[in-house]
Structure formats: structure tokens, C-alpha cells
């Protein structure tokens, strides 16, 4: 009974091919029913009052009805079946149900010809045409093999396939079959879903675990090696013991910093959807950072200058997180741009590029060796380093700029990075200003 009902619905939707009832024609006639009824009344009056031949009147009426059904309604036609909205709060039609599905849906017959698709299907397969073979619009051998397997066995299938054109993406296809009255597969229903983002997130997770494991394993292996040495050959060597203990302390501190950064990043991501709402005076925050890192700049032979171009500058934020942002940026500029001998920090208020209001802009500029263009877009990735050995030597964990990016995003701000070899680097943070 259910199978018969579904096949009937498919037929009424135009899926069952030329033998099915063409619902579009019936919809046109129903949409113009008052015109048809009026003509019928006029013809009846003509026959009754003027003595016209009733067969001629009936023939004329049939021709008018046929013309009404075949003349298309105004509006575009994209190859899919247009849904007819139910009137008077009736039950939704088959078209309504399928068109409401947020995922692309394609229905094929047993010959793999397209019999139905909703509008979303065009987002992934733009060249779909009714009655044409699916392979004309979508040339994916593994998908065709899965569809044929479903036709042969009647079992549902699920596969993923990759596309490079028009864009690089991964698509998941869920394939189900509908049996006809004779028990054989009559139709194949394909539901497509773009899972590119899911794959990217999964790859990021795998990379993150691999990188974090590597970053922890290296100092841990060093610690174990020194422990074995102190328990063996250097057991009674006081000078070696002091040297090794200093190295062990350094490696332990490195692991501690890494774990602290991992925990900080996790906390920031957990609260990413909650925008801070406390007023924070940005000049005081950056001034505190400059005072804190002044001794480090002096030790590295770097002149650290702070230029406040506005007396006060308030934003909505989390003070400790903003301190973390500017500590990371200024410390990086001191460490990696030391060869330039100078780091400039500028605080300013500028009009927004779009929309009303102003935004607070903090710029950190160093005059060091700069960064190659291919590295700039990846600087905020977890554990990405332009020079891994140099970064570890300077005590970096590879998470500093990732933390900066996520904190700025939580504050609904923007992080800008500009750099070129031999020209130094400029990091800017823009956050909406209060007032």
C-alpha cells in the first residue's frame, strides 16, 4: 500500500515519465478554473438561447480547455518540478516536501535518467536536466558504480567523492532505492551533502594531535635522556649534574608553556561565541604591556616606542585576554625583529572602512628580516613556524599567533598581517570603539 502511494506521488510529480499524469497541465487548468467556468457558461447560453449546435459548443470548450492546460504560466523554469502550494491549509504535496529538504535531492529511473531534482541539487550539479542521463551532468565513476550496485541489490549505499572543478570540495552521496509494484527497483534517490568543512576540521584535528604530540615528545625525550645520564655515568659528576639540571629545567619549562598555551587556546575556543562586554581602556592595556616587556627589549638591544595618538580609547573586551594579545605581538616583534633595532607600537582611532562609528587600531611594527609571502597566510595556524628551530630556540610554542587570532575573533575584531623580506613586519588589531 505504501509503495503504491509513493509511486503514485512520483507519477503525479512527473517522475514516472510520459505514462504518468502530467500534474503541471492540471495545475494550469485549475489555476484558470474561473476562466474555464465562465467560458462554459457562455457556450451553454449560446446553445440554449441561439439554437447553436451543442456538439460544436462542446468541441470549442474542449479546445479552450486544452489550450489553457498547455500554455505555460509566466515565470522561469529551471528543469525541476515547481511546487504547488496547498490551498486552504491542506496537506503538502510531494513537491513541497522534497523542495523543503535542505540537501540536494536527485531521483533517477532504472536507466539512470534524471526524473526529478529539487532546486538545491543545482548548487552541486548545475547541469542537471530532466530525462537526461545523470552522467551527462556529473561524471563521477565511483558514484555511478554505487548507483548501479544499489540498482542490482536494492540495498542503500553511501560514498564520498572529491571534486576539483568548479571548486575543490568533498561531497557525500546517500543512495536509496524505491521498488515498483513488480518488486524490482524503479527509482534511485540520491541525497547529496557538501562535507568539505567537516573534512577540513577533521584534518585540522589530526594535524593538531600530531603536532602537539611531537612538541611534547621532544622535550620529554630530552628529559628522559638526561635522567638516565644522571643515574649512570654522571651520577658523581657535580659539574655535569648542574649543567644537565639546567637543561632539564629549560625543557620542563618548555613543556609547561606548551601545556599552558594549549589550555588557553581551548578556553578561548570554548567561549568563542560569547563576545566580551566589559569596557576596557586599550591605551592602559598596551601601556602595561610596553612596561612589562621593556626589560626584554633592553636586553635584546631593541628600542621599544609607544605612540598614543588619542588620550583614551575604550573597547568592549576582556582585559586579561587583550593583554595576552599584545604581549604575544610585541614579544614576537622584539624576539624575531631584533636585527632591526626598533619596535614601534601605535594606538589610534580611525573611522570604520564600512558603516558608522570608529574602531580602535593598535599596530605593532618591527624592522627585522621580514617574512616570505607564502608564509604569511599560515602564520596563525597552530604550530606553524617559518623557522621551527629558531622558534624553539627563542622559547616559542608555535601557538602564540593562533591564540591571538582566536582572542581577536572573540572580540569581533580583525587581525592584519603585512610583511615582506627585508622590510620587517606589521601586525595590526582592529576592534570596534565604544562611543
User: Domains of the chain (ranges plus CATH)?
Assistant: 2-70 (no CATH), 94-194 (3.30.450.20), 200-270 (1.10.287.130), 273-435 (3.30.565.10)
At 75 the pLDDT is 41
The answer to whether the Cα torsion of 123, 409, 383, 373 is positive or negative is: positive
At 336 the pLDDT is 85
At 404 the pLDDT is 92
Which residues are within 8 A (CB) of 161 and not within 5 positions of it... i.e. 6 or more apart? 140, 142, 143, 170, 171, 173
How many angstroms separate the CA atoms of 360 and 257, rounded?
30
**Residues 80 and 131 sit within 8 Å (Cβ to Cβ):** no
pLDDT digits (tens, 9 = 90+) for 7-65: 445 544 444 443 333 445 555 555 555 566 666 655 565 556 655 555 555 655 555 55
Residues of the chain with pLDDT under 70: 1-95, 214, 388-396
Amino acid at each position: 500500500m505504501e509503495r503504491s502511494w509513493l509511486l503514485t506521488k512520483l507519477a503525479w510529480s512527473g517522475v514516472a515519465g510520459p505514462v504518468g499524469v502530467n500534474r503541471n497541465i492540471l495545475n494550469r487548468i485549475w489555476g484558470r478554473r474561473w476562466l474555464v467556468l465562465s467560458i462554459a457558461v457562455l457556450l451553454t447560453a449560446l446553445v440554449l438561447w441561439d439554437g447553436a449546435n451543442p456538439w460544436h459548443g462542446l468541441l470549442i470548450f474542449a479546445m479552450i480547455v486544452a489550450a489553457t492546460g498547455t500554455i505555460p504560466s509566466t515565470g522561469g523554469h529551471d528543469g525541476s518540478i515547481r511546487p504547488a502550494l496547498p490551498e486552504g491549509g491542506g496537506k503538502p504535496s510531494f513537491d513541497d516536501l522534497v523542495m523543503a529538504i535542505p540537501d540536494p535531492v536527485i531521483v533517477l529511473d532504472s536507466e539512470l535518467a534524471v526524473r526529478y531534482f529539487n532546486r538545491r541539487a543545482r548548487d552541486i550539479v548545475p547541469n542537471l536536466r530532466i530525462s537526461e542521463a545523470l552522467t551527462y551532468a556529473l561524471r563521477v565513476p565511483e558514484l555511478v558504480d554505487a548507483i548501479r550496485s544499489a540498482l542490482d541489490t536494492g540495498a542503500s549505499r553511501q560514498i564520498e567523492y572529491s571534486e576539483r572543478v568548479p571548486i575543490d570540495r568533498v561531497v557525500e552521496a546517500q543512495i536509496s532505492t524505491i521498488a515498483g509494484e513488480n518488486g524490482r527497483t524503479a527509482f534511485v534517490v540520491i541525497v547529496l551533502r557538501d562535507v568539505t568543512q567537516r573534512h577540513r576540521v577533521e584534518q585540522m584535528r589530526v594535524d593538531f594531535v600530531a603536532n602537539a604530540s611531537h612538541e611534547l615528545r621532544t622535550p620529554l625525550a630530552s628529559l628522559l635522556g638526561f635522567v638516565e645520564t644522571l643515574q649512570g655515568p654522571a651520577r658523581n659528576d657535580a659539574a655535569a649534574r648542574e649543567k644537565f639540571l639546567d637543561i632539564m629545567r629549560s625543557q620542563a619549562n618548555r613543556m609547561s608553556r606548551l601545556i599552558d598555551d594549549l589550555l588557553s587556546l581551548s578556553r578561548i575556543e570554548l567561549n568563542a561565541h560569547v563576545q566580551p562586554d566589559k569596557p576596557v581602556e586599550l591605551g592602559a592595556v598596551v601601556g602595561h604591556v610596553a612596561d612589562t616587556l621593556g626589560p626584554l627589549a633592553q636586553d635584546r638591544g631593541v628600542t621599544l616606542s609607544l605612540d598614543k595618538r588619542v588620550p583614551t580609547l575604550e573597547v568592549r573586551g576582556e582585559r586579561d585576554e587583550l593583554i595576552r594579545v599584545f604581549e604575544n605581538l610585541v614579544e614576537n616583534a622584539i624576539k624575531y625583529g631584533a636585527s632591526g633595532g626598533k619596535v614601534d607600537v601605535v594606538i589610534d582611532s580611525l573611522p570604520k572602512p564600512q558603516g558608522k562609528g570608529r574602531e580602535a587600531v593598535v599596530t605593532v611594527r618591527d624592522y627585522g628580516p621580514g617574512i616570505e609571502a607564502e608564509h604569511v597566510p599560515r602564520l596563525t595556524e597552530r604550530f606553524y613556524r617559518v623557522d621551527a628551530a629558531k622558534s624553539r630556540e627563542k622559547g616559542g610554542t608555535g601557538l602564540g599567533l593562533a591564540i591571538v587570532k582566536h582572542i581577536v575573533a572573540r572580540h569581533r575584531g580583525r587581525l592584519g598581517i603585512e610583511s615582506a623580506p627585508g622590510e620587517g613586519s606589521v601586525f595590526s588589531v582592529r576592534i570596534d570603539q565604544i562611543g
